[in-house]
């Protein structure tokens, strides 16, 4: 027996728009499309293209030939250690400087003025900072000439075209980034929490270790990861202030040399993929250590 359709059944059926909205697809969701297109075009596609390119060696052979070639050559393999030896100490020192300065700046009245002065190196650019350091720290630069004039040294110190020149450049250009991120986390902590610790008799050191630091660890871990990725990709400073064929031959220089000097784009892509993998391993390790250091709510912010 065929059932009769209810007269209001068609009217009660929700429209396609309402059914999509019930699943989370509405006009607001469409605003994500430009960002998704940008990610797809600027990150996912280049990464996929580079990965496929790295698996197709220029001279043929197995799909892993480029990676085998990289690890079999000590001159190429040592670039991993050289890059980490630059990026990790610079990142740690940037955080070590950013935390106490941010803790102090948050209490100042003219916070905006001091913050503007501290982040000024961001506006200069890496190349301009490197050029300035060559003139300041070079053998005939102001720094060495002042020390010689004061008879503190007999001959100029070699502070450029080596490890320390690149280190100084990364420190100057990376500190403002670390400082801004750290300051945002520090100023976001409710002052009432610190006041409660002081009321209970905790001194400044204990308040920092037991109140501020646990709340800052998640933010500091993210800041470390972002600062490390920025420092790991060093290229202009390593060329202008370092020794590109020596101790500061980082992975980015190796990738550039393979792709645009040896015209082996496939091998250069393989080195770039290895750069991404090394960065990923460090980021994952830092985030894992963050969970071991502190577990619990990361609340305590204002509002």
What pLDDT digit, counting tens, does each position of 36-85 carry? 899 889 889 999 999 999 999 988 889 999 999 999 999 999 999 999 99
Instruction: Answer whether residue 298 is part of any domain.
Output: no
Instruction: Answer whether residue 36 is part of any domain.
Output: no
Instruction: Answer whether residue 259 is part of any domain.
Output: yes
Question: What are the distances in angstroms from CA 1 to CA 21, 89, 198?
Answer: 37, 81, 81
Average pLDDT taken over every residue of the chain:
86
List pLDDT tens digits, range 274-283.
Answer: 999 999 999 9
Instruction: Answer whether residue 224 is part of any domain.
Output: yes
Q: Which residue has the higher pLDDT, 121 or 69?
A: 69
Please check the confidence at residue 300 and state whether its pLDDT lies above 90.
no
Taking each helix axis from N to C end, the angle separating 74-105 and 213-232, rounded to the nearest 10 degrees, works out to: 140
Question: Residue 222's pLDDT is what?
Answer: 93
Question: Residue 122's pLDDT is what?
Answer: 79
Question: Residue 251's pLDDT is what?
Answer: 95
Task: Quote the number of domains for the chain.
Answer: 1
Q: What pTM was estimated for this model as a whole?
A: 0.83
Least confident of 11-20, 81-90, 156-165: 11-20
What CATH number is given to the structural domain containing 196? 1.10.3720.10
List pLDDT tens digits, range 85-104.
Answer: 999 999 999 999 999 998 88
Q: Which residues contact 39 (CB under 8 A, 6 or more apart)?
A: none
Comparing CA positions, the residue from 135, 181, 164 lying closest to residue 237 is: 164
Percent of the chain residues past pLDDT 90, beyond the cut? 43
Question: Residue 170's pLDDT is what?
Answer: 94
Instruction: Answer whether residue 38 is part of any domain.
Output: no
Please check the confidence at residue 299 and state whether its pLDDT lies above 60.
no
List pLDDT tens digits, range 181-203.
Answer: 998 888 888 778 878 877 888 88
β-partners of residue 189 are: 301
Instruction: Answer whether residue 59 is part of any domain.
Output: yes
Domain enclosing residue 238, as ranges: 43-293
Instruction: Answer whether residue 4 is part of any domain.
Output: no
Instruction: Answer whether residue 24 is part of any domain.
Output: no
The answer to whether 75 touches 258, Cβ cutoff 8 Å, is no
Please check the confidence at residue 29 and state whether its pLDDT lies above 90.
no
Mean pLDDT computed over 136-165: 90
The answer to whether 227 touches 175, Cβ cutoff 8 Å, is no
Question: Residue 258's pLDDT is what?
Answer: 94
User: 189 φ, ψ to 5°?
Assistant: -80, 135
Mean pLDDT computed over 253-268: 94
């Amino acid at each position: 027996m065929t059932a009769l359709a209810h007269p209001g059944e068609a009217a009660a059926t929700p429209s396609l728009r309402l059914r999509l909205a019930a699943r989370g697809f509405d006009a607001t969701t469409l605003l994500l499309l430009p960002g998704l297109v940008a990610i797809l075009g600027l990150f996912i596609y280049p990464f996929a293209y580079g990965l496929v390119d790295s698996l197709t060696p220029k001279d043929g052979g197995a799909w892993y030939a480029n990676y085998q070639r990289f690890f079999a050559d000590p001159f190429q393999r040592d670039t991993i250690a050289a890059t980490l030896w630059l990026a990790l100490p610079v990142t740690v020192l940037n955080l070590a400087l950013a935390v106490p300065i941010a803790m102090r700046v948050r209490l100042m009245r003219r916070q905006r003025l001091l913050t503007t002065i501290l982040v000024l190196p961001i506006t200069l650019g890496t190349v301009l900072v490197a050029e300035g350091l060559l003139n300041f720290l070079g053998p005939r630069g102001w720094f060495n000439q002042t020390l010689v004039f004061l008879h503190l040294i007999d001959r100029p110190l070699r502070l450029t075209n080596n490890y320390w020149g690149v280190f100084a450049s990364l420190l100057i250009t990376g500190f403002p980034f670390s400082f801004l991120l750290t300051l945002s986390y520090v100023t976001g902590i409710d002052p009432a929490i610190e006041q409660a610790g002081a009321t209970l008799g905790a001194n400044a050191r204990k308040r920092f270790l037991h109140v501020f630091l646990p709340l800052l660890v998640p933010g500091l871990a993210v800041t470390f990861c972002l600062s490390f990725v920025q420092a790991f990709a060093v290229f202009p400073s390593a060329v202008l202030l370092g020794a590109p064929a020596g101790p500061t031959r980082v992975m980015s220089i190796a990738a550039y040399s393979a792709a645009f000097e040896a015209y082996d784009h496939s091998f250069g892509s393989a080195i770039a993929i290895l750069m991404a993998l090394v960065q990923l391993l460090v980021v994952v390790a830092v985030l894992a250590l963050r969970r071991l250091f502190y577990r619990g709510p990361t609340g305590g912010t204002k509002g």
